[in-house]
Structure 1
Amino acid sequence: MAIHNLNRFLQSYFTAHHCHVANQNGVLKIQLTEEMDRALMNRPFYWHYVKKMGKNGDPMQLTLITNQDNTEEKGERIHFGSPRLQQIVNHLKENEQFTKLFEVVHAVRNTALQPWLVTNIKLSYIGKRNKDEIFSLGLNLVNGQMKTDMMDFLNAKDLQMQISDYCYTITPIIKPHSGFRRILTVIDQYIQDQDHQWAAESIEELKQEVDLLKHFYQGDRDEDVEQMEKELQDIKERYQPKIQFSVVNGGIFYLTGN
């Protein structure tokens, strides 16, 4: 259910932002637009300078490598938990958290479009070892059908902000907030079905670190107790296993029944 194929996720992201993407063997070569260069490449002084000089500027090309076995290609290696992927997720959260789009339909007679609630969710496992997963789930708000890897499904469709001629929308039977609760139920079940050995390892590491710290402070003066308590809290923050989720973005997509 999680998006394990970063190629498809990243290609969808950059294509949606009007960047040219060449994707081969786990290597994405992306020609950024000015907007995406400004968002991702941290070159504010460059863009300030070229605009002040009345020039158009030269957006950079970004090479992202998702195939970790590819050691020949030069570029930036990206994986779940990497700073670059976190930057992309943050960009989505800050700029495009909610949208409403319609499938492009070249219709000659009245055509119904069904509403889908689409949600991209980041699931973070925090403990001895941290790991992120991204889920893309879609729920048909008329019949309750649910799709996983929804962004891959949408990537094959042409979408726009206006409804096409001869098309009309069907009123949702399932309210969006109720649909979101259904999606969260699926996420909860997914978490319960996982092997949580990572959590047991984190708890064991936590116990060892606490015992070591207490041994270090054994016999110290009372004024050192406050420092020990602070360090204990820091250890618990690092090793206490927990799972957090956050909504990256989402929206209502009106699609044909195909």
Structure 2
Amino acid sequence: MAIENLNQFLEHYFTAHDCSLIQNEDGILTVQLTEEMDRALMNRPFYWHYIKKMGNKGDPMQLTLITNPDKQEEKGEWIHFGSPRLHQIFSHLTNNEKYTKLFQQLDTTVKTALYPWLVVNMKISYIGKQKKDEIISIGLQLVNGMMKFAMMDQLKEIPLQLAAADYCFTISPLIKVKSGFLRIESVIDQHVAKQANDWAEESIKTLQEESNMLKAFYNDRTDDEELVKQMEKELQEIKNRYQPTISYKVINGGIFYLVDGTIK
């Protein structure tokens, strides 16, 4: 999801990791870190090593982040898109928080059902003479089986929060997450099968040409066992370089609870 409100993003990030918000006003956010988050963000490995060696509990730091450009001179750390601190937070999320659970943000006074969507963001890599990556975002409604491509484009227009709003309740999924993921994977297989394969044909052609040239080079020296081994090694290297392959990698995903009809 695109981050439109950096302060709100940081607020959600720290509260999701059990950090207390000491101040959150006018673009100045002060948080009391937990030990886990102090270790992740504050670069104090020797402190924690010493504390644990001494058998003490330790004292996690407070962190003040400023997102309001007019408050840059205040006591704290100016954070913005491109700043090292924000890159550190993104890296922490990428490495540790690939999966999430979020709820549609609502202001209602009547009982409202929220339906579970399994959302998977997948990178498809077409690897051959050249490499091309494709990012696919698919959502599967775990009650009725409805499936949507470009799911993240729709989710970025929907306000989300970490807990269900008042008067909202969740509907139990009829499709298990593992089964849902297999459905999504099957749809991605079908998508890949429909793509043009000229990139693979070009890779195979280059593979054959390079292999034939190498064999011709060694043609008169195949009675030398060491040279044969060298040729086989180089043939394998050519195959590794040009053999067309397709790989999938899950970037991130999660369960999103949404009002019925929110996703069209």
For this structure pair, what is the TM-score category when the shorter chain's length is used for normalisation?
0.5 to 0.7
* Alignment RMSD: 3.0
Q: What aligned pairs does 1:66-85 form with structure 2 within 5 A after superposition?
A: none
Quick one: which amino acid aligns to residue 179 of structure 1?
G
Distance 1:100 1:184 in 2: 20
Match of 1:223 among 208, 222, 226: 226
Q: What aligned pairs does 1:1-258 form with structure 2 within 5 A after superposition?
A: 12-15=1-4, 56-57=76-77, 59=79, 62=82, 93-220=94-221, 221-257=224-260, 258=262
Distance 1:205 1:91 in 2: 41
State the 1:57 CA deviation.
5.0
Distance 1:239 1:91, change over 3 A: farther
Distance 2:190 2:113 in 1: 33
State the 1:182 CA deviation.
1.1
Quick one: which amino acid aligns to residue 187 of structure 1?
I
Query: Do the aligned partners of 1:169 and 1:254 also contact (CA within 8 Å) in 2?
Result: yes
State the 1:222 CA deviation.
2.0
Alignment partner, residue 41 of structure 1: none
Distance 1:247 1:166 in 2: 34
State the 1:224 CA deviation.
1.8
Distance 1:91 1:137, change over 3 A: farther
1:17-50 deviation digits (Å, cap 9, x = unpaired): 6599xxxxxxxxxxxxxxxxxxxxxxxxxx99xx
Structure 2 gap segments, 5+ residues each: 10-42, 45-60, 65-74, 83-89
Distance 2:217 2:106 in 1: 70
Distance 1:217 1:58 in 2: 63
State the 1:217 CA deviation.
2.0
Query: Do the aligned partners of 2:128 and 2:241 also contact (CA within 8 Å) in 1?
Result: yes
- 1:157 match: secondary structure: coil
- 2:121 match: secondary structure: strand
Distance 1:92 1:134, change over 3 A: farther
Distance 2:92 2:173 in 1: 30
Number of residue pairs aligned between Structure 1 and Structure 2: 194
1:109-162 deviation digits (Å, cap 9, x = unpaired): 110000000000000000011100000000000111111111011101111111
Query: Do the aligned partners of 2:2 and 2:156 also contact (CA within 8 Å) in 1?
Result: no
Quick one: which amino acid aligns to residue 131 of structure 1?
K
Identity %: 50
Distance 2:178 2:136 in 1: 18
Q: What's the TM-score once normalised by structure 1's chain length? A: 0.67
* Deviation beyond 3 Å, 4+ runs, structure 1: 13-20, 54-62, 89-93
Query: Do the aligned partners of 2:107 and 2:165 also contact (CA within 8 Å) in 1?
Result: yes
Quick one: which amino acid aligns to residue 229 of structure 2?
E
State the 1:16 CA deviation.
7.7
Distance 1:18 1:184, change over 3 A: farther
Distance 1:210 1:122 in 2: 31
